[in-house]
Structure 1
Amino acid sequence: MDEHKDHDFDLIKKESILEPEPPEKKKSKWAWLTSFGGLFLLLKAGKVWAIFKGIFIFLKFGKFLTTGLSMLLMIIVYTYMYGWKYAVGIVLLLFIHEMGHLTASRRLGIDTSLPMFIPFIGAIIQMKQEPKDAKTESIVGIAGPVFGAFGAFLCLIFGELLGSGLLLALAYFGFLLTVFNLIPAHPLDGGRIVTAISLKLWIIGIPVMIFFSLYYFNPIGILICILATKKAWEVWKDRDNPYYDTDLGFRFKMGVSYFTLFALSAYYTYTLHEMLNRG
């Protein structure tokens, strides 16, 4: 946040009693207009202040505007590809997912940026400070998929009740997004979550990510593979770091949560895929 400092300057005029008074100046015929303008501004001082206050709030909350504009940009791009209804739904599901990360990180005292939406990539938030341990990182990591899966479930329920193919398609997207993010490869959410379960799960996640990235030739996936491999090597060299020490009870609870969420999301992804293909 920008800090604004106000500086007051006092202007002191010294007048000598010995100095002769200046000759009277002839009043301008437009003087009445100046006086009227000053009186008008005085009477409307509240509105003038409101304008300046509004400008300040606009600058102060510019981050919200940035998030909103990036969401709008993504909606516009996806509208040309899928139609505006599906585009809005995709962006809202991404927003719900990121709100999970944001809520968890802020509750844990981690300063986190607002989401930024990037077409064909997704949405990201930036933690302005590193988590204190793997436990904290895993909680922040799993919060996004939990929120995202909840949003997908809502789409599924209302899609079934209303017989809406659009909502069912959005549910499919939401569950697929959750499954993808739960792949145990850093910097995906799954890679962050398993830091508190077992780093050995990266041995499974990275090859899976490499296979699908090359099979479907996805440049973003290939980039994730490179980042995941780099992170795995760094962690291996620093594997004795106390950062990764997590108590057995938490490992068990996080492990159950992670695999349950992964299994449910994978099941509904497959089920909805078959249902939509039959339709």
Structure 2
Amino acid sequence: MAKKRWGGLAVAGAFLLTKGKVILALLKFSKFGGTLISFGVSLLFYAQVFGVWFGVGLLYLLFIHEMGHLLAAKRLGFKTGPAIFVPFMGAVIGIKDTFRTPKQEAILAYGGPLAGLVSLIPLAIGYAVTGNDFWLVIFHLGALLNLFNLLPVSPLDGGRILAGLPIIVWVAGLAALIAYGLTNFSLILLLIAFFGGSAVWKRYKFAKQYEANRSTLMLYRAARERVLLAKAEQERANAEVALAPEVEEEQTVESTYDPIAWSLRLDLQDLRQASPEEARQEADDLLRYQYDAANDYDALLRRIDQRIEPLRLAEESVQYHQMPKKQQTITLLAYLALGAILFIAFEYSKGYLPTPS
């Protein structure tokens, strides 16, 4: 039987390489070409392993789930790409915009499992009307897939929904996933745990970095504003010299005194004195940079920007994950409610599943 299925896959592949070229060419120019092609390829693989109808049912679940993400993205005004199916990995919707708040990320992530819950309704009706176990099996699978997706681990939907909550939520979800993945050995689960662990570590590292360097970041930003002011003063002075009438050489007196650079140095010294102890070393470095750069303010700005950039990324990460308390409560309640309904559907349908003969 297995040989027959894989033989069918080979025949289908040969068709796509010959006669199917015309179809592929037409689909390529279609708005949904990528979706249809990936759907067909996934169906071929699933059909060989699980059978055609099970493959259709699985792709139905994946498609509705991704359409939930798509509708949520459209509601947020995000630009999206078509749904692409990946055999044995699921499906994905391309999001061409960046989340600005954890609330936006939560709304988009919530749309998938919510649509997945809705997708169970036709399956329940189909089972109630026909009594065919096929509908029940796909119903149970849909509840399981969407419930699994609600695990609070990034990059699963659950982790993205709860991105605005304290990091301990991600840690708890990651620990549960690792424990389950080790006791019920699964490479896919451990791979998800790897990505989830990377996300937890990155968020933790940024939080610690920002906490330790908050004063330093404030120092650099204040210094940058002062350097920009000095640069503007220097540019005005240069423009005035260029517009002034030429003076004979014997009347010019060279001077090493630069009032703009000296004023900047005094201001940087004042910044050092006003900075807390943990930022004094960076303030001393700034004074050395200013001395080395002389009146090359662009070079000084580049040095400051190099120091600001990693601290800015840490600050953005911390601020992004700070959702207001009210939004946290609403998000958590919505998450728990959806998870509870899916869990009930999963457990209820499990009791009616046909027993293997």
Fold-level match, TM-score > 0.5? yes
Query: Which stretch has the larger CA shift, 186-195 or 68-77?
Result: 68-77
- 1:23-172 mapped onto 2 (5 Å cutoff): 60-61=29-30, 64-172=32-140
Please give the alpha-carbon distance, in whole angstroms, between the structure 2 residues aligned to 1:262 and 1:73. 31
Deviations 1:212-231 (A, max 9, x none): 22233222211111110000
Report the equivalent of 1:39: none
Deviation at 1:250, TM superposition (A): 2.1
Deviation at 1:59, TM superposition (A): 5.3
Whether the 8 Å contact between 1:182 and 1:188 is mirrored in structure 2 is yes
Q: Report how many aligned residue pairs link the two structures.
A: 224
Please give the alpha-carbon distance, in whole angstroms, between the structure 2 residues aligned to 1:198 and 1:274. 36
Report the equivalent of 1:206: 174
- Secondary structure at 1:126's aligned position in 2? strand
With normalisation by structure 2, the TM-score equals 0.59
Report the equivalent of 1:252: 329
Please give the alpha-carbon distance, in whole angstroms, between the structure 2 residues aligned to 1:178 and 1:206. 17
Question: What runs of 5+ residues in structure 1 fail to find an aligned partner?
Answer: 1-55
Please give the alpha-carbon distance, in whole angstroms, between the structure 2 residues aligned to 1:156 and 1:278. 19
Please give the alpha-carbon distance, in whole angstroms, between the structure 2 residues aligned to 1:75 and 1:58. 17
Q: CA RMSD in A?
A: 2.1
Deviations 1:93-116 (A, max 9, x none): 100000011111122122222111
Name the % identity: 30
Instruction: Give the number of the structure with larger relative contact order, counting CA–CA contacts within 8 Å between residues 6 or more apart.
Output: 2
Whether the 8 Å contact between 2:165 and 2:328 is mirrored in structure 1 is yes
Report the equivalent of 2:239: none
Whether the 8 Å contact between 1:133 and 1:243 is mirrored in structure 2 is yes
Please give the alpha-carbon distance, in whole angstroms, between the structure 2 residues aligned to 1:107 and 1:114. 16
- Secondary structure at 1:115's aligned position in 2? strand
- Secondary structure at 1:125's aligned position in 2? strand
Query: Which stretch has the larger CA shift, 260-269 or 132-141?
Result: 260-269
- Secondary structure at 1:265's aligned position in 2? helix
Whether the 8 Å contact between 1:110 and 1:131 is mirrored in structure 2 is no
Deviations 1:2-26 (A, max 9, x none): xxxxxxxxxxxxxxxxxxxxxxxxx
Query: Which stretch has the larger CA shift, 174-183 or 67-76?
Result: 67-76
Please give the alpha-carbon distance, in whole angstroms, between the structure 1 residues aligned to 2:96 and 2:107. 17
Please give the alpha-carbon distance, in whole angstroms, between the structure 2 residues aligned to 1:71 and 1:59. 14
Please give the alpha-carbon distance, in whole angstroms, between the structure 2 residues aligned to 1:90 and 1:109. 29
Deviations 1:122-159 (A, max 9, x none): 11123223211111001101100000111023212331
Report the equivalent of 1:9: none
Whether the 8 Å contact between 1:134 and 1:243 is mirrored in structure 2 is yes
Letter in 1 for 2:339: F
Whether the 8 Å contact between 2:102 and 2:320 is mirrored in structure 1 is yes
Please give the alpha-carbon distance, in whole angstroms, between the structure 2 residues aligned to 1:60 and 1:169. 36
Whether the 8 Å contact between 2:84 and 2:92 is mirrored in structure 1 is yes
Please give the alpha-carbon distance, in whole angstroms, between the structure 1 residues aligned to 2:176 and 2:337. 19
Higher-Rg member (1/2):
2
- Secondary structure at 2:177's aligned position in 1? helix
Deviation at 1:167, TM superposition (A): 0.8
Deviation at 1:237, TM superposition (A): 2.5
1:193 equivalent in alignment to 2:161: yes
Please give the alpha-carbon distance, in whole angstroms, between the structure 2 residues aligned to 1:277 and 1:157. 18
With normalisation by structure 1, the TM-score equals 0.74
Question: What runs of 5+ residues in structure 2 fail to find an aligned partner?
Answer: 1-24, 208-314
